[in-house]
Amino acid sequence: MTETSTYDVQHIQVLEGLEGVRRRPAMYIGSTGPDGLHHLLYEVVDNAVDEALAGFCTRIEAVLRKDGSASVLDNGRGIPVGILPKIGKPAVEVVLTTLHAGGKFDGGGYKISGGLHGVGVSVVNALAEWLDVEVYRDGKTYRQRFERGKPVTALRSAPGSPLPSGTKVEFKPDTTVMTAIDFNTEVITKRLEDIAYLNAGLEIVLTDERTGKIQTFRFAGGIKELVRTLNKNRARLNDEPIYVRRERDGTEVEFAIQYNDSYLEHVLTFVNTIPTTEGGTHLVGFRAALTRTLNDYAKRLGLRNGDLTLSGEDVREGLTAVLSLKLREPQFEGQTKTKLGNTEVKGLVESVVAEALQEYLQTHPGDAKRIINKALTAARAREAAKQARDLVRRKNALDISTLPGKLADCVERDAEHAELFIVEGESAGGSAKQGRDRQFQAILPIQGKILNVEKARLDKMLNHEEVRAIITALGTGIASDFDLSKRRYDKVIIMADADVDGSHIRTLLLTFFYRYTRPLIERGKIYIAQPPLYLIKAGKERKYAYADEERQIVVRELEARGQKVEIQRYKGLSEMNPEQLWETTMDPKMRTLKRVEITEAEEAERIFSTLMGEEVEPRRQFIVQYAREVRNLDI
Ligand code: 28F
C-alpha cells in the first residue's frame, strides 16, 4: 500500500465513494492479484466472525463456486434492515454501499480489522460484478442485489427463512478489475482453520464446488488444541498446555503454552484472529513475562547454580505457544501491516502472562522443574557454545591452517568464483578430487552419517569433526555468528548418491544448513548435484540420461538407427570414473544443478524432526508411508 497520508485517503474516499475503490482498488485491498482476491473473501468472512466474537454466531459456511463466485453464510443476528432515519435507506444497504459503514459495533463487540484495517464489505461490493445479500430476521428473508457496488433492486422481503436469523453474502469478483479470479482452496482452508482455532467452538464449513471437497473446522479446545496439534510429533514436557484467558480494560488476552524436547521456538500470535506475523507489543510483553517469571522461579527454588541467568532464547527453546489478543482499536504497523503497535498492550500482556505463569508453576511443580531444567540446559549449552566458538575463533586467529585436512581446496581465493562440493563417501570424493577443475572447485568428502544435528547440542555438534569440517570450510560461522560476507565459496553443492543413503545425507545437510546457516539457503547458495542415472552406449556413441523418461527417448533414438544399445544404470557416484563425473555432474558447461529452496529445507527439517524426534509413533507412520523408498533406514 503506497504511503498516502490518512487525510488524503479519507478526503479521496469522501469525494469518490465506491467509485474511488474501483479506480484505485490496490489502495483498499493491497493488490488486484491473488492476495487482493482472497482479501475480498476474508472481508466477508471477518464480518461473520465479528458476529461470532460478539457472541451471536456459532456457525459459518463458505462456498467456492464453479462460476468463480463465493458465498458466506452465518447464523448471527442478521444485518439490521431498518431504515436509517438520517439517510432514508435500510441499514443493510448503507453497510454495503458506504465505505467503512460496517464500523465499530456499539457495545461490547470487537471489530475484526483485516490485515489492511478491515476496509469493510462495501469495498467487496464495489469490486464485485454482482453481490447478493440475504438477511434472515424476524422470520423473514430480506434480499437485495448489487452490481459493481450499485443497488439494482430495492431491499425486498419475503416470509420464511432457512435460519432463525443470520446473514448470507454471495459475490462474484469483477474480472474487469481483479487480475486474479481463482480462489485457492489451500490458502482459504488455512485461514478458516486459524479462525476456528481462535474461536473455540465456532464451526466453519468450507465447500469447494469445483472439487466437491467439503471441510469442517471446529475446535472445542480452541488454541489449546492448536498447540497440541503443533506439538503432536514431538515429546512434550508439560502434558496439558498451560492455558489462560483473561479480559482487562476491554482487551482479551488468551494464550496456550506447551514445551517440547526440540530446540525450535514456534510461537504464533494473532490480534482479532489476524496473524501478526511481524509480532509487536503483545509478543514483546509475552516474552518479557516468560523470561522474568522462569528466572524468578528458578532463583526461588535455588535451581540456578551460581548466577546463570536464563536468556530469552533459553526460555523459548522448545516452546510452542499461541497468543491471541482481542482488542477494539488495534494499530497494525510494519511492512505488511502485521505488527501490533499499541503500546499499552505490552504491559497488559506482560502482567496477565506473568501472573498466570507464576500460578501455574507453583501448582505444577513437576512440569515446572522440567521446563526450568530445559532452559538451564540451554543456558549451559549456550555458554559452552560461546566458549567453543571463542576457542574456534582463537584457534583461527592463532593458527591459519585450520582448514580441515580432508578439504581439497581450490586455487581461487575470491568466493564469488569458487564453489565447494560436499561429497558423500571417500571413493566418490576421490573421483571428484581427480575430476574437478582445481582452479575454482573445492572438494570436501564426508562420511555417510554426519551426527544428527537435530539432537546434538550446539557445543557437541561443534566438536563433531565432520560438522566442524563443513563449518570451517564454509567460513561463515554459524547461528548468531553467521556472516555471509565471510563465505569462502559462492556455491555449496551437495553431491550424494540418488539412493536412500544419499537422501538421508541430503536431509541431514539441509537440516544443518536450515538450522545453522539459513541465509545460505535464503540467498540461493545451496545446490544439489544431479548425477546421471544411466550411461547408454551404442557402438562408440555414449550418452547419459538423468531420468527414466530421458533414457527411453535416448534409447529409442539410438535403436531407430538400428544400433545395439547397452544401458548401464548408475547405482552410485563411485561407479563413475573422474572424467565421467566431471563431464556429467561437475562441468559448469554440461551439468545441471538443483538450487535448494527454503521450502525444501523446511520440509527436510520437518522430516528430520519426525525421524529424529523422540516420538516413535510419527517415525513409524513416516516409515510406513514412505516404506517403498526407505529400504534400509538405520536411524
Ligand atoms: C456473511 C457475512 O456480514 N454478518 C453480519 C451483522 C450483525 C449486525 C451488524 C453485521 C449496525 C449498523 C453497523 C445486528 N444486530 N456475514 C455478515 N452480521 N452487522 S454483518 O450490524 C452492523 C452495524 O451498521 C448487528 C445488532 N447489532 C449488529
Confidence of residue 113 (pLDDT cuts 50, 70, 90): very low
Which tops the pLDDT comparison, 293 or 381? Answer: 293
Do both 174 and 273 map to the same domain?
A: no
Do both 136 and 226 map to the same domain?
A: no
According to the model, what pLDDT value does residue 398 have? Answer: 45
Q: Which atom of ligand 1 is nearest to the CA of 107?
A: 27
Do both 471 and 511 map to the same domain?
A: yes
* Least confident stretch, 9-18, 168-177, 611-620: 9-18
According to the model, what pLDDT value does residue 460 have? Answer: 55
Q: Which of 41, 44, 49, 51 best tests ligand 1's pocket when mutated (most atoms within 8 Å of CB)? A: 51
CA–CA distance, 106 with 484 (Å, rounded to integer): 53
What is the Cα gyration radius of the chain? 30
How much is the mean pLDDT over the chain? Answer: 87
According to the model, what pLDDT value does residue 335 have? Answer: 77
Degrees to nearest 5, angle at CA 361 with 355 and 366: 170
According to the model, what pLDDT value does residue 115 have? Answer: 40
Do both 294 and 353 map to the same domain?
A: yes
Report if residue 111 sits inside a domain.
yes
pLDDT at residue 388 tops 80: no
According to the model, what pLDDT value does residue 410 have? Answer: 94
Ligand 1 centroid – CA 51 distance (Å): 7
Residue range 474-485, pLDDT digits in tens: 999 888 788 999
Contact (CB, 8 A) for 278 and 265: no
According to the model, what pLDDT value does residue 305 have? Answer: 63
Ligand 1 centroid – CA 135 distance (Å): 10
48 in contact with ligand 1, CB cutoff 6 A:
yes
CA–CA distance, 118 with 45 (Å, rounded to integer): 11
**Could you give the number of structural domains in the chain?**
3
pLDDT at residue 337 tops 70: yes
Ligand 1 centroid – CA 387 distance (Å): 61
Do both 155 and 273 map to the same domain?
A: no
Burial class (CB in 10 A: 0-12, 13-18, 19+), 159: exposed
Final residue belonging to a domain, choices 202, 217, 232? 217
> Which are the catalytic amino acids?
424, 497, 499, 501
* Least confident stretch, 112-116, 358-362, 493-497: 112-116
Do both 227 and 197 map to the same domain?
A: no
pLDDT at residue 491 tops 60: yes
Q: Determine phi and psi for 261, rounding to 5 degrees.
A: -90, 10
According to the model, what pLDDT value does residue 612 have? Answer: 60
Contact (CB, 8 A) for 206 and 192: yes
Report if residue 568 sits inside a domain.
no
Q: What is the CATH number of the domain that holds 278?
A: 3.30.230.10
According to the model, what pLDDT value does residue 131 have? Answer: 98
Ligand 1 centroid – CA 330 distance (Å): 20
Final residue belonging to a domain, choices 364, 389, 414? 389
Report if residue 569 sits inside a domain.
no
Burial class (CB in 10 A: 0-12, 13-18, 19+), 509: buried
According to the model, what pLDDT value does residue 7 have? Answer: 54
51 in contact with ligand 1, CB cutoff 6 A:
yes
Do both 475 and 620 map to the same domain?
A: yes
381 in contact with ligand 1, CB cutoff 6 A:
no
Final residue belonging to a domain, choices 217, 246, 279? 217
CA–CA distance, 118 with 103 (Å, rounded to integer): 9
166 in contact with ligand 1, CB cutoff 6 A:
no
Residue range 506-533, pLDDT digits in tens: 888 888 898 889 999 989 999 999 999 9
Percentage of the chain lying above the pLDDT 90 cut: 63
Element (H, E) at 61: strand 59-64
Burial class (CB in 10 A: 0-12, 13-18, 19+), 331: middle
Closest CA relative to residue 166, chosen from 191, 134, 143: 134
Rounded average pLDDT over 226-241: 91
Report if residue 107 sits inside a domain.
yes
76 in contact with ligand 1, CB cutoff 6 A:
yes
222 in contact with ligand 1, CB cutoff 6 A:
no
According to the model, what pLDDT value does residue 527 have? Answer: 97
Residue range 590-606, pLDDT digits in tens: 999 999 988 888 777 77
Ligand 1 centroid – CA 587 distance (Å): 66
According to the model, what pLDDT value does residue 104 have? Answer: 43
According to the model, what pLDDT value does residue 3 have? Answer: 46
pTM, two decimals, is 0.65
Rounded average pLDDT over 184-193: 96
CA–CA distance, 180 with 203 (Å, rounded to integer): 28
- Which residues are paired to 593 by β-bridges? 529
- Which residues are paired to 167 by β-bridges? 74, 135
Taking every pair of Cα atoms in the chain, the longest distance, rounded to a whole number of angstroms, is 93
Element (H, E) at 73: strand 70-74
According to the model, what pLDDT value does residue 100 have? Answer: 74
pLDDT at residue 362 tops 90: yes
Q: Determine phi and psi for 331, rounding to 5 degrees.
A: -110, 115
Nearest CA to ligand 1 atom 15: 77
- Cα 177 vs. chain centroid, distance in angstroms? 30
pLDDT at residue 634 tops 60: no
Do both 272 and 403 map to the same domain?
A: no
The boundaries of the domain holding residue 458 are: 397-531+594-629
- When mean pLDDT is compared over 159-173, 262-276, 448-462, 529-543, the highest value belongs to 159-173
Confidence of residue 312 (pLDDT cuts 50, 70, 90): very high
Rounded average pLDDT over 328-349: 91
First and final C-alpha spacing in the chain? 49
Report if residue 471 sits inside a domain.
yes
Report if residue 403 sits inside a domain.
yes
Confidence of residue 400 (pLDDT cuts 50, 70, 90): very low
CA–CA distance, 444 with 400 (Å, rounded to integer): 18
Q: What is the CATH number of the domain that holds 44?
A: 3.30.565.10
Residue range 96-106, pLDDT digits in tens: 999 875 544 33
Do both 494 and 430 map to the same domain?
A: yes
Q: What is the CATH number of the domain that holds 442?
A: 3.40.50.670
Nearest CA to ligand 1 atom 16: 48
Rounded average pLDDT over 317-323: 96
Confidence of residue 172 (pLDDT cuts 50, 70, 90): very high
pLDDT at residue 5 tops 80: no
169 in contact with ligand 1, CB cutoff 6 A:
yes
CA–CA distance, 394 with 413 (Å, rounded to integer): 22
Residue range 435-479, pLDDT digits in tens: 999 999 999 998 766 555 545 544 455 557 788 889 889 999 888
Which tops the pLDDT comparison, 332 or 142? Answer: 142
Do both 492 and 607 map to the same domain?
A: yes
pLDDT at residue 401 tops 70: no
CA–CA distance, 347 with 496 (Å, rounded to integer): 52
- When mean pLDDT is compared over 72-76, 556-560, 625-629, the highest value belongs to 72-76
Report if residue 634 sits inside a domain.
no
Residue range 267-281, pLDDT digits in tens: 999 998 889 999 999
Do both 495 and 516 map to the same domain?
A: yes
Ligand 1 centroid – CA 123 distance (Å): 16
Do both 273 and 190 map to the same domain?
A: no
Four-residue CA torsion sign, 451, 454, 460, 465: positive
Q: Which of 42, 77, 138 best tests ligand 1's pocket when mutated (most atoms within 8 Å of CB)? A: 77
Percentage of the chain lying above the pLDDT 70 cut: 85
Report if residue 573 sits inside a domain.
no
